Structure 1
Amino acid sequence: MNKDKQKLNYNESLEKRNRIDHSLSSIENLPNELFNEIFDYLGAYHMHQTFSNLNYRFQRLINSSSLLFKITFRRSTPVQMIRVNNNQILSIHFLSSKHTKMISLFNFDSSFNRLESLIFHSIKPDVLISLLSKLIHLPRLFSLTINIDNISADLTDIYRLIFDLPKLKYIRFFAMEPEVSVSLPLCIHKQINNIKYLIINHSITLNNLFSILSYTTQIEHLSFTHKRSSTFNVGSMSPIILPNLTYLAIYETDLKFDVFEIFITKIHSKLRVLSLESQAEDMNYLNADRWKKFILKYLSQLEKFYFTCEFREHRHRNKRHMSTSNSFNSSFWIERQWIFETEIHLDIFIYSIHPYKKRWFEYDSQYTMINSSKFMQIILTITCYTDEWYYLRRILTAGEVYHLKINDEIFSTELIRMLNLLPYLDSLQLSSLRLSNLTNMINEERKILPMVTCQNQITKVYLRQMNQIEDIYFLVDQCPRMTYLKVDFSNHMDIEVNIPKILMKINTKYNHHIRLLCFRVVVADEKLVENLKRMIHFEKFFSNYKIKRVFDNIYIEWK
């Protein structure tokens, strides 16, 4: 009886397994929803190549009105048309000039009633003009991206036709050639277009921009590249009301601050985000008090502020343009959490303002922003530092720098000289450190070395590339107030060999303050964490500590 029962159970199990195997081996048992995802991943061309001739089920599925296609013509895509129903096309992207002739063959009419997005790359202006007149019949064309060939062109007719598209909400216009022009007259009638996003990736004068804005008064998001060396005829420009404009980005402008202020006052809006990239080398852009007054009066609803400007030091030798940087640490800037940064690249000084963002030493996901000037003060980044200390000395001694980032490898003697000029420094980030031979130090460096060690206030150090364990020893010795040390490693072996040495150095150093270590390695995993736990336990480095892995970072914290 037991044998019969076992045989019955075996047969049932075998039958069940066969049913499962058959179910898994039959592609037709997969649901339509899964095939829709597969079709979307493959794209229209490869989907047709693979599934169109299989059977009746796939023919019905492919022709279903619920299935929408995103068609992309790349350079490698065959020139022949992809046979799909017009009412199934959601978007068409022409990413190669190779398909210019094909574009002309498209008869865009109301049958494309689901088409929402068009992208034309390297299209000729005459082809685009003939095409735009057809697009007016598309009932759901919301997005249009245009990249015209790099030739001189008058874009007036193109813009006029774009503004006639009643459903368009998003327009992005690329034209790399600097000699493009736009000469639209001001719109004197109420415009019926629905454009919300206007991204002008070609140079344009402010006067021509005002003409374009007169056709797009419902705009919410505007970015444009200002045409350099162009004049702004202030007298001819009447104020324009843009009640929905909340985002404005201006790139490569050489406008003086005075003219920029006038431009902003001419567009009546409620900006929440302002991004400005200035190449004017106008010292007024570094006047924190002037920015404060202007923002409070004309941009009172501003939430995010991004600003960048460049100065070449040899043009401003008599101007201490860093001396005003401390003004960016007033309560006005701290309350808004807008950070002032300086980057030095040889003799080029890049100044920027941006919203606060989490830094490398804020490792805890529960960390909350501290309303403290030490967190909000100046950040200095140095790339390709020069041996001519004229530039560095002026900027380092002009402001209270709290955070220093050096992107190039630096000799330890040069680092000591920098730290001597930065008594308020709280965090230090180094790309790589090259230890100098102490016997070769000049008298000046010998004198300042113990002074720097004794007086510096650095509490956080990050070394992105360790050349030798002595690099860490040097930093621990020179930063006696350090509480947090972070080091990048290339592999497990480096970590397991060097961490015991680092911990030994810390434990043998008298009155050290380090309580948190972070080791970053791309291949970090839980096995490495367990190995470190065993090592710490065996060596008895700590009795009360925590160790955890957050992505590629391993943290060791103790009391």
Structure 2
Amino acid sequence: MNQHRTYFEDLPNELFGIIFEYLAPHDLLRGFKKLNLRFQSILIQQPLSLPNNRSMSYKLYCNYLTKIIPRYISQIVYLHLSERRAPHAVQQFIDEVPLDSQFWPALKAVTTEDVPRDVFETLLADCSFLMNIQSLTLDSGFQLYHCDEYDECDDFGTVIPILNSLPELRSLYLRIVNRPVIYVNSTPNELSSRMDIHQHLQILSINDCSRELLVELLNNGYLPQLRQLHVSITSHKHSDMSIDPPNPIPLKQVFAPELRQVNIKLFTGVTWFLIYFEDLQRHSQLDCFNLSGHVRFTNNSNFPRVAALQRWLTLTKSNIFQFRMKLGVDYNLGAQSVLEDMCAEYRRATGDEYSAGYGNIDIRYPEMSFSYPPVKDDNIADEPVVMNEGEDNSTSSDNNISDEPVVMDVDESNSTTSDEWFRGEP
């Protein structure tokens, strides 16, 4: 019997293109560059991605930045620029590689990891080669060598210059150091007034976002195409976990007409976010709404009762809406009964004994149906929340919100530093 053998070189060019996507550029070029004319022609058209340098030697990474990239600059679609275990490497890249956009026709995405602040600002200021990128990741979080250099810049001073400088962005991922909201020479309103309307951003992920910035970006319609929002709201002081923020002015649907997915990590203010996004829920706009993090109960906690949450959930007419509230919980001294009563109410309403208890509240909708009509809460209005005239419920005041780090012992499952949350994954 004759057997037909298929050899590696018999594969079509299209398959080689797919295979080559899984190879690092130095492996790809070293293995196929001078093999024959056919592979040389494939390599000339092959998109190249500079991977992260975590498993590279310093010498290899610098060789990438100063030798491989200049030679194949027109084929680079993704850059990972990092000085993690590679001091001065990105500065060397800036000094030796042309940054004019005409040399970077294929570049679509850039990640900067543990890059000195002045170097990042140089990249942003001389952003010709970044002008047409569609995705940017800035990672200057905790445990990185240069994280302290970003302390002087609050989230307004980080986000707004990026959005103004890169008008073609579709996605922006920021892992920044937890810091208080500091407005050195400007108020939040003055900073936001310098922002242009961004017509293309669809995904925004910030692992430490102040409520002030969130409100300014959404309430003023600066992000009309935003579809996915992933933010972590933290408190600076340990005591702030016990203080609920004043109720916000609800976001009007007309200012965020495309927003479909919302993922919030928080340490206080569950009710704040339900009120803030209520108009979008009433317009059946949201497809997914997730709350996670950790909350502390006090005798005056404003945690939503079952009646309030049920009313909010059933505002929508969408058949695909999904909701999850997964929170670690504890209580201040003297507030144990408050937490126990709240958990008992949720267990009765869902018919699930594991849905709420000390240490955890996990509510899913529509998987969990409210199996009995909850007792009417006289404090819950059937109409939208309307602020009294003159009542100070604005979140733009520095006195209302503090965004400094939380020092606490919480389950790592609720950490705000996971890559899954950062990328908006469930």
Pair 1:242-2:247 in alignment: no
Partner of 1:90: 77
Contact 2:229-2:263 within 8 A present in 1 as well: yes
Provide the secondary structure at the position in 1 that maps to 2:343.
coil
Bigger drift between 35-44 and 321-330 goes to: 321-330
Provide the secondary structure at the position in 2 that maps to 1:254.
coil
Partner of 1:128: 120
Mapping for residues 264-279 of structure 1, pairs under 5 Å: 264-265=277-278, 270-277=285-292, 278-279=294-295
Contact 1:68-1:90 within 8 A present in 2 as well: yes
Query: 2 CA distance for matches of 1:306 and 1:340?
Result: 17
Cα separation, partners in 2 of 1:156 and 1:126, compared to 1, 3 Å? farther
Mapping for residues 190-269 of structure 1, pairs under 5 Å: 191-202=197-208, 204-213=209-218, 214=220, 215-228=222-235, 229=240, 241-255=255-269, 257=271, 259-265=272-278
Contact 1:273-1:304 within 8 A present in 2 as well: yes
Provide the secondary structure at the position in 1 that maps to 2:192.
coil
Partner of 1:176: 177
Partner of 2:152: 153
Provide the secondary structure at the position in 2 that maps to 1:210.
helix
Contact 1:205-1:231 within 8 A present in 2 as well: no
Partner of 1:318: 337
Partner of 1:289: 307
Query: 1 CA distance for matches of 2:259 and 2:334?
Result: 37
Q: CA RMSD in A?
A: 3.7
Contact 1:73-1:96 within 8 A present in 2 as well: no
Query: 2 CA distance for matches of 1:201 and 1:248?
Result: 13
Q: Which amino acid aligns with 1:193?
A: Q
Contact 1:142-1:170 within 8 A present in 2 as well: yes
Q: Deviations over 1:25-62 (max 9, x none)?
A: xx654432343233222221111122223333332221
Contact 1:197-1:220 within 8 A present in 2 as well: yes
Query: 1 CA distance for matches of 2:53 and 2:116?
Result: 17
Cα separation, partners in 2 of 1:39 and 1:55, compared to 1, 3 Å? same
Contact 1:286-1:321 within 8 A present in 2 as well: no
Partner of 1:328: 349
Contact 1:218-1:243 within 8 A present in 2 as well: yes
Query: 1 CA distance for matches of 2:344 and 2:246?
Result: 34
Query: 1 CA distance for matches of 2:115 and 2:181?
Result: 15
Query: 1 CA distance for matches of 2:12 and 2:137?
Result: 35
Q: Which amino acid aligns with 1:68?
A: P
Q: Which runs of 5+ in 1 are unaligned?
A: 1-12, 331-338, 358-368, 375-559
Provide the secondary structure at the position in 1 that maps to 2:199.
coil
Cα separation, partners in 2 of 1:190 and 1:157, compared to 1, 3 Å? closer
Mapping for residues 310-389 of structure 1, pairs under 5 Å: 310-312=328-330, 315-319=334-338, 320-329=341-350, 341-342=354-355, 348-355=358-365
Q: Deviations over 1:80-103 (max 9, x none)?
A: 131453332221223552243344
Query: 2 CA distance for matches of 1:244 and 1:340?
Result: 37
Partner of 1:524: none
Query: 2 CA distance for matches of 1:118 and 1:87?
Result: 15
Bigger drift between 133-142 and 104-113 goes to: 133-142
Cα separation, partners in 2 of 1:255 and 1:263, compared to 1, 3 Å? same
Q: Which amino acid aligns with 2:159?
A: Y
Provide the secondary structure at the position in 2 that maps to 1:41.
coil
Q: Deviations over 1:234-268 (max 9, x none)?
A: 689985721111111111231162x3344234778
Partner of 1:112: 104
Q: Which amino acid aligns with 2:335?
A: H
Alignment: residue pair count: 327
Query: 2 CA distance for matches of 1:166 and 1:256?
Result: 33
Of 42, 49, 53, 1:70 maps to 49
Partner of 1:48: 29
Query: 1 CA distance for matches of 2:363 and 2:34?
Result: 58
Pair 1:32-2:39 in alignment: no
Query: 1 CA distance for matches of 2:349 and 2:134?
Result: 42
Q: Which amino acid aligns with 1:325?
A: Y
Q: Which amino acid aligns with 1:171?
A: L
Structure with higher strand content: 1
Contact 1:143-1:168 within 8 A present in 2 as well: yes
Which of the pair has the greater relative contact order for Cα pairs under 8 Å at 6+ separation? 2
Question: What is the aligned-residue identity percentage?
Answer: 17
Q: Deviations over 1:113-155 (max 9, x none)?
A: 2211111111222211221234455564111111024221314
Partner of 1:142: 134
Question: Which has more radius of gyration?
Answer: 1
Contact 1:307-1:352 within 8 A present in 2 as well: yes
Partner of 1:101: 91
Q: Which amino acid aligns with 1:80?
A: N
Provide the secondary structure at the position in 2 that maps to 1:144.
strand
Contact 2:49-2:77 within 8 A present in 1 as well: yes
Cα separation, partners in 2 of 1:256 and 1:247, compared to 1, 3 Å? closer
Pair 1:307-2:325 in alignment: yes
Cα separation, partners in 2 of 1:49 and 1:153, compared to 1, 3 Å? farther
Cα separation, partners in 2 of 1:353 and 1:276, compared to 1, 3 Å? same
Cα separation, partners in 2 of 1:303 and 1:80, compared to 1, 3 Å? same
Query: 1 CA distance for matches of 2:23 and 2:100?
Result: 24
Cα separation, partners in 2 of 1:220 and 1:232, compared to 1, 3 Å? same
With the length of structure 2 as denominator, give the TM-score of the two structures. 0.65
Cα separation, partners in 2 of 1:317 and 1:289, compared to 1, 3 Å? same
Partner of 1:410: none
